[in-house]
Amino acid sequence: MSFKYVGKPIPPQDGFLKVTGTATYTFDLELPGMLYAKLVTSTVPHARIKKIDVSRALGVPGVVRVVTGKEYPYRVGMYAGDRDLLAIDKVNWVGHPVAAVIAETLEAAEKAIDLVDVEYEELPAIFDPLEALKPDALLIHEKMEEYRHSPAFKPIPGTNIANKFTLVRGDVEKGFRESDVVLEEEFHISHVSHCYMEVQNVIAHYHLDGTVEIWTSWQNVAPVRQIMALSLGIPHNKIIVRIPYVGGGFGGKAGLGWEALVAILSKAAGHRPVKLVLSRKEQFSTAAVREGFHAFAKAGFKKDGTFNAYSVRFILDAGAYADYTVNVGRAVGYSADGCYEIPNINVESLTVYTNKIPTTALRGFGYPESHWVLEQIIDRAAKKLGIDPSEIRRKNLVKPGHSHTCTGERLREDAGDPQKVLKTLVDEIGWGKPSENPPEPWKVRAKGLSLFVKGPAQPPNAAASAILKFNEDASIDLLIATGNFGQGTVTALMQIVAEEFGLPLEKVRVDYVRDTHKSAYTWQTVGSRGLFTDGIAILKAIEDAKNQIFTVASEVLRCPKDQLELVDGEVRVKGKPWEKIPLQDIVMGYTYPNGNSIGGPVIGRGVFMSTHTTYLDPDTGQGNPTIFHTFGGTAVELELDLLTGEINILKAVEVLDLGKVINPLLVKQQTHGGLIMGTSISLYEEIKFDERGWVVNPNFTSYYLVRIKDLPREVVARYIETPQLDGPYGARGIGELTMIGVAPAIANAIYNSIGVKLDRLPMNPEYVWRALREQRPDLVEEAWKRFSKYEKIVEVTI
Partner 1 sequence: MSFGAPYLTLPEFTYHKPKSLKEALQLLNEFRDEAKVMAGGVGLIAFMKERLLAPNHVIDIKDIPELKIIEYRKGEGLKIGATVTMSEIEKHDIVREKYVALHQAVKAGSDPIIKNRATLVGNICEAIPWVDGPVPLIAYNAELEIMSVDNVRRMPVSEFIKGPVEISLEPNEIVTSVYLPDLPPEAKSLFMKFNTGSEFALATLAAYVNDSKKPRDARLVYGAVSTKPVRAYEAEKIILTNKNISEAVILAAEKASKEIDVISDVLATEDYRRHLVKLLTINVLSRIFEVG
Partner 2 sequence: MGRWITLTVNGSKRRVEVKDNEILLDVLRDKLKVKSVKAACWRGECGLCSILLNGKLVKSCLVLAVEVDGSEILTVEGLARDGELAPIQRSFIEHGALQCGFCTPAFVLASHKLLEENPSASEDEIKESLSGIVCRCGTYYEIIEAIKDASKHYQVRKKV
Binder of partner 2 out of 77, 81, 175, 247 (CB under 8 A): 247
Binding of residue 32 to partner 2 (CB under 8 A): no
669 is a site residue for partner 2 (CB under 8 A):
yes
CA 615 to CA 613: how far, in whole Å?
A: 7
697 binds partner 2 (CB under 8 A): no
> Could you say whether residue 51 binds partner 1 (CB under 8 A)?
no
**Is 646 near partner 1 (CB under 8 A)?**
yes
Stretch that binds partner 2, among 221-229, 247-255, 451-459, 653-661 (CB under 8 A): 247-255
Q: Applying CB under 8 A, does 193 fall inside the site for partner 1?
A: no
- How many whole angstroms separate alpha carbon 121 and alpha carbon 767? 37
Residue 171 touches which of partner 2, partner 1, none (Cβ within 5-8 Å per kind):
none
CB 318 to partner 1: min, Å: 19
Q: Quick one: what does residue 669 bind among partner 1, partner 2, none, with the CB cut-off 5 to 8 Å set by partner type?
A: partner 2
What's the one-letter identity of residue 5? Y
Sequential DSSP letters for 374-409: HHHHHHHHHHHHT--HHHHHHHHB--TTT-B-TTSP
- Return left, alpha or beta for 659; rule: phi > 0 is left, psi -120 to 50 is alpha, else beta: left
Q: Kindly state whether residue 643 participates in binding partner 1, applying the rule CB under 8 A.
A: yes
Distance between CA atoms of 30 and 375, rounded to whole angstroms? 48
Q: Rule CB under 8 A: is residue 56 a binding residue for partner 1?
A: no
Of the candidates 329, 325, 313, the residue with the CA atom closest to the CA atom of residue 357: 325
Q: Are 241 and 225 in contact (CB under 8 A)?
A: yes
Considering only CA atoms, give the Rg of the chain: 28
Q: Min. distance of Cβ 324 from partner 1 in angstroms?
A: 22
Considering only residues 384, 707, 770, 785, which one is a binding residue for partner 2 as defined by CB under 8 A?
707
* Contact pattern from residue 617 through residue 656 relative to partner 2, giving x for each residue in contact according to CB under 8 A and a dash for the rest: ----------------------------------------
By the rule CB under 8 A, 673 interacts with partner 2: yes
696 lies in the binding site for partner 2 (CB under 8 A): no
Stretch that binds partner 2, among 67-75, 207-215, 485-493, 574-582 (CB under 8 A): 485-493
- Classify 10 as helix, strand or coil: coil
Q: Which of 115/731 has CB closer to partner 1?
A: 115
Q: Specify the 3-state DSSP secondary structure of 52.
A: strand
DSSP 247-284: S--TTTTSS--SHHHHHHHHHHTTS--EEEE--HHHHH
Instruction: Give the other-Cβ count within 10 Å of 556's Cβ.
Output: 16
Picked from partner 1, partner 2, none, the partner binding residue 45 (CB below 5 to 8 A depending on kind) is: none
User: Is residue 428 involved in binding partner 2 (CB under 8 A)?
Assistant: no
> How many Å apart are CA 612 and CA 653, to the nearest integer?
34
User: Whole-angstrom Cα distance, residue 20 to residue 36?
Assistant: 28
Ranges assigned E (strand) in 678-767:
714-720, 760-761
Least separation in angstroms between CB 121 and partner 1: 16
Q: Which does residue 420 bind out of partner 1, partner 2, none, counting CB within 5 to 8 angstroms by kind?
A: none
61 binds partner 2 (CB under 8 A): no
Confirm or reject binding of residue 688 to partner 1 (CB under 8 A). yes
By CB atoms closer than 10 A (0-12, 13-18, 19+), residue 38 is: buried
Nearest approach in angstroms of CB 703 to partner 1 is 9
250 binds, among partner 2, partner 1, none (CB under 5 to 8 A by kind): partner 2
Convert residues 251-280 into a mask of x (bound to partner 2 by CB under 8 A) and - (unbound).
Answer: ----------------------------xx
Q: Can you spell out the DSSP letters for 174-226?
A: HHHHT-SEEEEEEEEE--B----SSPPEEEEEE-TTS-EEEEE--S-HHHHHH
Near partner 1 by CB under 8 A: residue from 117, 146, 436, 506: 117
Binding residue for partner 2 (CB under 8 A) from 3, 4, 8, 14? 14
Side chain identity at residue 305, one-letter code:
G
Instruction: Show the site string, 383-402: x = touches partner 2 by CB under 8 A, - = not.
Output: --------------------
The DSSP result for 309-346, as a single string, is: EEEEEEEEEEES--TTHHHHHHHHHHTTTTTB--SEEE
C-alpha 765/C-alpha 798 separation (Å) is: 39
297 binds partner 1 (CB under 8 A): no
258 binds partner 1 (CB under 8 A): no
Q: Is the dihedral of CA 101, 105, 107, 108 positive or negative?
A: negative
Nearer to partner 1 by Cβ, of 13 and 285: the residue is 285
Q: Quick one: 449 or 638, whose CB is closer to partner 1?
A: 638
How far apart are alpha carbons 36 and 274 in whole angstroms? 5
Nearer to partner 2, 61 or 158 (CB): 61
**In terms of DSSP bridges, do strands 117-122 and 47-53 run parallel, antiparallel, or are they unpaired?**
antiparallel
Least distance CB 252 / partner 1 (angstroms): 18
Cα–Cα distance measured from residue 94 to residue 42, given in angstroms and rounded to the nearest whole number: 5
Confirm or reject binding of residue 74 to partner 2 (CB under 8 A). no
- Nearest distance, CB of residue 95 and partner 2, angstroms: 17
User: What residue type is 8 in one-letter code?
Assistant: K
**Of the residues 52, 94, 161, 508, which one makes contact with partner 1 according to CB under 8 A:** 94
Cα separation, 377 vs 379, whole angstroms: 6
**Which residue from 106, 133, 556, 665 is in contact with partner 1, where contact means CB under 8 A?**
106
Q: Which residues bind partner 2 (CB under 8 A)?
A: 9, 11-12, 14-25, 27-28, 30, 194-199, 245-250, 279-280, 485-488, 665-666, 668-669, 672-677, 680, 699-701, 705-709, 711, 715
Q: Which residues bind partner 1 (CB under 8 A)?
A: 38-43, 94-95, 106-107, 110, 113-114, 116-118, 277-279, 281-282, 285-286, 643-644, 646, 683-684, 688, 694-698, 700-702, 704, 762, 764-766, 769-770, 787-788, 790, 792-798
